[in-house]
Amino acid sequence: DIDILFGKNNKQNDFLTFKIAKKNDTFMHIQNRPGAHIIIRQENPAKDVLEFAGMLCLFLAKQIDGEVMYSPIYNIKKGAFPGQVLTRKYNTFFLRFNDDLKPFFENNIKRFYK
């Protein structure tokens, strides 16, 4: 099992990314849009894990498709504002949301921090 964590607002995103995430975790975010910070508790996750976490990015951002970026957490630095990050090096891929996952996300995702 691989844990995938997320924040849904700027305070949760900051707490998750800069307090909870470990140096070998993978950071993910929808590209060029506001959205949740996603942390995959694994270094170099497999393609299917990245795609699943990317679907979660789209679901939380209420987007039907989009470019998703990911990077090892050690490439992520705190930006000037809460929830803002600066990335030194990252990869991207394009996803279209799979509607079959919507019931799973609606019924199974849980917040870790209020």
Is 113 contained in some domain?
Answer: no
Tokens of 23: 């140096």
As averages over each run of 10 residues, the pLDDT of the chain (114 residues) reads 90 94 96 94 96 96 96 95 92 96 87 54
Domain holding 92, by residue range, is 4-108
Provide the number of structural domains found in the chain. Answer: 1
Question: Could you give the angle at the alpha carbon of 20 between the alpha carbons of 106 and 74, nearest 5°?
Answer: 110
> What is the value of pTM for the model shown?
0.91
Is 35 contained in some domain?
Answer: yes
CA distances from 50 to 64, 66, 93, 107, 110 (A): 17, 14, 9, 21, 19
Is 114 contained in some domain?
Answer: no
Strands 76-78 and 85-87: antiparallel
